[in-house]
Structures are given as C-alpha cells and as structure tokens.
C-alpha cells in the first residue's frame, strides 16, 4: 500500500539523503546503473543528468510506484527504464557498475546478508551505495509501537519496524570490507522543520503516513473507522512529543549511509 502522492508530501526532505549519498560515489562513467526501491522514480531520473550515457533501471515492489514513475519524461523517452521487482530475490547483473538502494533495505528482512551477497557477486570496480533510516528509537516510532501494543490494538497490527531494525554504520562497513570493498560509511541526523497548520494533520503524522504507518493502515484497511481512531490516537501522542513552535515542528531524523567500491 504505497501511495506516491502521500510519500512525496515531504519530497525535499526525502530527496536530500539520496543526493548526499550519491555525492560520495566516485564512478566517472558507469555504463549500467540499477536503483533498487526507486519509488516514484524522480530521484532515479536525476541519475541521468549526472551520467547521461548510462543505462539506468529503477526497480520497486509497488506497482503503484512504478506506474507513477512511468509517467516521468525520462521514462516516456526511454532514457530510464522502470519495472516491478522483488529486491529480496534480485541478483546483480554481470555488467552492473552502480547499485543504489535509498531508504529501502530497512523493509527487507535479512538485508545485511542480502547486501553482502551483492558485494560478493559483483565484479571489481562496481559501486554499491545505500542509505537506511536509523531513527527506530525516535519518539515517533516508540509511540507507534506502544499504541499498537496497547490493549485496544494488541495483536491487530503487524509489520512495524522494531527498535533493532537499524544497525551501526560500523557493522555495515564491516560487511562490505569482508566482501573486498573499499568503504565510506557515516551517519547524519537531519533536523527537519516541518510547517504546521491547524487545517492539516500533525506534520510528523503526515510524514509517517507515507512510510512507517503503512503496516498499520494495511492491517485496518477493511475497518476504516478503526483506522481513523488509531490515527487520531497516534496524532494526540505525536502532538505532545513534537510540539509546534514558531509555526513548525522540529523533527530530528537519523540516517545511515554506506558507499562501497569492489576492489
């Protein structure tokens, strides 16, 4: 249940980590690039500006996201290709030069082993670049898990990210080093200042509806009144944890970045 419009409510804030990640990729003229978890495709399409001679593919598990990506000018002209696919079974093509996975792997069980397999299998000179959220212990996610585990909702909602869903950058770096890569790994905490309005939902709730709240909405999809009640209860908790000041809500967001190049 990925909604491209909901996901892009905070397009600038969601795009910035992608550009920060790719800024550390030193590939000069990659011939084949694959962007896994490409979402609505706008960031994938931007790769064609930096590497105009590359063959660029975007893959996502959501047909709705791929349908949205297919409407981009770069897709219509064939400059960038998009397809539905399952990252958990994806295998790097022999000729791939750059694999990108931006804000994807946190949704994939066992993703560290998956990435290690990619790094083991690619040819020398191939780049791997991925970014994952590291905010699973933030108040936003703690409040979501606590509400889902409360007596009213216990057992009704599954698939939420737990507090151990993110790893330390050093652990990711170690995985790629063992696979024979040179590695650049770091973490950043962005402070998003999200505009608030009395006529719109709390900004952090609106953000979460595009990502972390998806499993809850899916679980209650056939009971819209229950979903509305759950959403309202979470909104009340978020409003206390993230108060509005000077017309905005300060929303710290930690992210982990890893770039590797196969030796």
pLDDT digits (tens, 9 = 90+) for 190-212: 999 999 999 999 999 999 998 88
Distance CA 170, CA 227 (A): 39
pLDDT digits (tens, 9 = 90+) for 96-155: 999 999 999 998 988 999 999 999 999 999 999 999 999 999 999 999 999 999 999 998
Instruction: Give the model's confidence band at 216: pLDDT under 50 very low, under 70 low, under 90 confident, else very high.
Output: very high
pLDDT for the residue numbered 6: 67
The beta strands (E) that lie in 38-180 are given as 55-60, 80-84, 98-102, 127-133
Report domain extents, the chain: 4-262
Q: Token pair of 71, please?
A: 């409407």
Distance CA 4, CA 43 (A): 13
Please tell me the CATH code under which domain 4-262 is placed.
3.40.50.150
Distance CA 173, CA 179 (A): 10
- How far the first Cα of the chain sits from its last, in Å, is 39
Comparison of pLDDT for 140 and 3, the residue scoring more: 140
Which residues touch 133 (CB under 8 Å, ≥6 apart)?
103, 106, 166, 253, 254, 255, 256
pLDDT digits (tens, 9 = 90+) for 42-61: 999 999 999 999 999 999 99
Percent of the chain that is helix, strand, coil (3-state, to 5): 40, 25, 35
Q: Give residue for tokens 């994938």.
A: 44
What is the reported pTM?
Answer: 0.93
Query: Residue 8: pLDDT above 80?
Result: no
Q: Span 229-241, mean pLDDT? A: 98
Range scoring the smallest mean pLDDT among 167-171, 205-209, 232-236: 167-171
Comparison of pLDDT for 11 and 232, the residue scoring more: 232
User: 96, 122 in Cβ contact below 8 A?
Assistant: yes
Distance CA 154, CA 158 (A): 9
């Amino acid at each position: 249940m990925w909604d491209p419009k909901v996901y892009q409510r905070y397009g600038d804030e969601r795009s910035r980590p992608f550009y920060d990640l790719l800024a550390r990729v030193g590939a000069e003229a990659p011939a084949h690039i694959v962007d896994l978890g490409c979402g609505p495709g706008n960031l994938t399409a931007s790769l064609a500006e930096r590497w105009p001679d590359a063959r660029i593919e975007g893959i996502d598990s959501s047909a709705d996201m791929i349908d949205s990506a297919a409407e981009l000018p770069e897709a219509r002209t064939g400059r960038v290709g998009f397809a539905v696919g399952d990252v958990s079974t994806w295998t790097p093509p022999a000729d791939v030069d750059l694999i990108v996975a931006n804000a994807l792997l946190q949704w994939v069980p066992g993703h560290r082993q998956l990435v290690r397999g990619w790094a083991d299998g690619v040819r020398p000179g191939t780049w791997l670049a991925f970014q994952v959220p590291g905010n699973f212990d933030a108040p936003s996610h703690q409040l979501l898990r606590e509400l889902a585990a409360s007596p009213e909702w216990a057992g009704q909602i599954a698939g939420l990210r737990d507090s151990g869903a993110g790893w330390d950058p050093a652990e990711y770096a170690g995985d790629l080093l063992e696979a024979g890569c040179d590695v650049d790994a770091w973490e950043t905490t962005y402070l998003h200042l999200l505009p608030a309005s009395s006529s719109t939902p709390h900004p952090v709730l609106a953000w979460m509806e595009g990502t972390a709240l998806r499993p809850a909405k899916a679980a209650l999809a056939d009971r819209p009144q229950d979903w509305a009640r759950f959403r309202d209860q979470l909104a009340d908790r978020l409003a206390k944890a993230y108060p509005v000041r000077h017309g905005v809500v300060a929303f710290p967001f930690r992210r982990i970045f890893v770039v590797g190049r196969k030796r």
